[in-house]
Amino acid sequence: MAAIAAAAAAFSTLNLSRTSVFLPRCHLRRAITSSLSSATTELGAKFAAPKPKPKAHKPAPREDSEQFIPWTVNDESGDVTLKTTSSERFLRAVVNESTQRKKKKEDRGSGGKDKPGVPTAEPKYSKAARRFYNERFREPPQRLAKVLAAAGVASRRSSEELIFQGKVTVNGSVCNTPQTRVDPAKDIIYVNGGRLAKKLPPKVYFALNKPKGYICSAGEKETKSALSLFDDFMKTWTKRNPGTPKPRLFTVGRLDVNTTGLIIVTNDGEFANQISHPSSNLSKEYIATISGAVSKRQLIAISEGTVVEGVHCIPDLVELLPRQPDIPRARLRIVVHEGRNHEVRELVKNAGLQMHSLKRVRIGAFRLPTDLGLGKHQELNAASLRALGWKT
């Protein structure tokens, strides 16, 4: 109340009348505040300082490093007392418990079922799970001749001859029909007294840069086969794929002994038939190196085509490539899609030109890799197979 009275007296000292000019609100607030502070000083009013916040009590660190565990025990008179140290019996029990757990883990790791390096038995699936797998993922029974060829016994035609000769038995009986459907995983097949493996080799696909002087078949003793370039690959097959039969490789299509470049090697007959069939309409690009000059008339003669094996073959494209400093001879880029025997050579010969060398650089949309040297092969991925027209 005294402070309010002092404030009223200070306000009256301003001698403000109705006719006087009013001060702004900020000046009025400043004047009242200063008068209140002066009045408080004159009246001797004092405010107490704020009490400091009590500090959290931290227990003094123990001299020993042992953890403090309160423990209640019953003394001799039956009263309950609080001990400042743990019971010796309790500490021994804790030590024994941890030791027993470690011992169990060690025993399990040394002689238990989870010992590393010990093969475990395959899980037994239910009949419904096996039926689901067989219906959707397992390959259906295939023709006997096809199974023999896929197993690497011989080619499809040679396998049929073995069947006709009575050298193949299925489940103990001689089979003379190549079209018989068999499943190597279930049926017992013998060829010339040898048991056929239950597991067929996986499908493999390669691009080979064939050198000059190699033929694309098994070949005779005096002629080198392009498949001999895979000898190192076949020697290390068992080491890389234990328990899996070796694939029987063959070339898709052919290149004559003097032609170099791209050729596909696989063990998948269905893939080979699909991309080599005329219905696939895959174009093939060749680089022909010509001895001598090439005139415009000769280019027109090549583009008009020629008769090969009784069929008039016309190339898709004929182009004279620009000369390069390191290649003095003229080069032609010729694209065909029929791929008849010696077709490109016959086109060049019909135009009156002399072929120096011939190289295939493309099949379909797959081009021979520039870093693939002569005699080297490269495994094809899914994108490369699609570029070759493989639809599966």
pLDDT digits (tens, 9 = 90+) for 150-206: 787 877 888 889 999 999 999 989 999 888 999 888 889 999 888 888 888 889 999
- The predicted-structure confidence for 90-134, as pLDDT tens digits, reads as follows 667 766 665 555 544 444 444 444 454 555 555 567 878 777 776
Confidence of residue 355 (pLDDT cuts 50, 70, 90): very high
Q: What is the dihedral of CA 35, 39, 40, 43, to 10 degrees?
A: 180
**130, part of any domain:** no
**25, part of any domain:** no
Confidence of residue 146 (pLDDT cuts 50, 70, 90): confident
User: Residue 210: which CATH number?
Assistant: 3.30.70.580
Query: Mean pLDDT in the chain?
Result: 77
Same domain for 273 and 261 = yes
Same domain for 272 and 217 = yes
Number of domain units in the chain: 3
- The predicted-structure confidence for 273-328, as pLDDT tens digits, reads as follows 888 877 788 899 999 999 989 999 999 999 999 998 888 989 999 999 998 888 88
As a three-state string, the secondary structure of the chain is CHHHHHHHHHHHCCCCCCCCCCCCHHHHHHHHHHHHHHHHHHHCCCCCCCCCCCCCCCCCCCCCCCCCCCEEEECCCCCEEEECCCCHHHHHHHHHHHHHHHHHHHHHHHHCCCCCCCCCCCCCCCHHHHHHHHHHCCCCCEEHHHHHHHCCCCCHHHHHHHHHCCCEEECCEECCCCCCEECCCCCCEEECCEECCCCCCCCCEEEEEECCCEECCCCCCCCEEHHHHHHHHHHCHHHHCCCCCCCCCEEECCCCCCEEEEEEEECCHHHHHHHHCHHHCCCEEEEEEEECCCCHHHHHHHHHCEEECCEEECCCEEEEECCECCECCEEEEEEECCCCCCHHHHHHHHCCCEEEEEEEEEECCEECCCCCCCCCEEECCHHHHHHCCCCC
**272 has pLDDT over 70:** yes
Same domain for 376 and 269 = yes
Same domain for 376 and 229 = yes
The answer to whether the beta carbons of residues 148 and 248 sit under 8 Å apart is no
Domain range for 319: 283-363
Domain end (from 154, 171, 195): 195
pLDDT of residue 60: 55
Q: What is the mean pLDDT of residues 256-265?
A: 94
Same domain for 354 and 225 = no
**61, part of any domain:** no
Confidence of residue 47 (pLDDT cuts 50, 70, 90): low
pLDDT of residue 245: 84
Same domain for 274 and 158 = no
Same domain for 377 and 267 = yes
**27, part of any domain:** no
**392, part of any domain:** no
Same domain for 287 and 275 = no
Q: What is the mean pLDDT of residues 356-374?
A: 94
User: Residue 175: which CATH number?
Assistant: 3.10.290.10
HSE (CB half, 13 Å, CA atoms) of 155? 6
pLDDT of residue 32: 56
**68, part of any domain:** no
Same domain for 378 and 274 = yes
Same domain for 274 and 209 = yes
Same domain for 334 and 291 = yes
**121, part of any domain:** no
Same domain for 235 and 376 = yes
HSE (CB half, 13 Å, CA atoms) of 203? 11
Confidence of residue 66 (pLDDT cuts 50, 70, 90): very low
The answer to whether the beta carbons of residues 147 and 200 sit under 8 Å apart is yes
Q: What is the mean pLDDT of residues 373-386?
A: 93
Q: Higher pLDDT residue, 67 or 312? A: 312
Domain end (from 162, 180, 195): 195
Give CA–CA dist 286/87, Å, rounded: 93
The set of catalytic residues is 256
Percentage, residues of the chain above pLDDT 90: 33
**122, part of any domain:** no
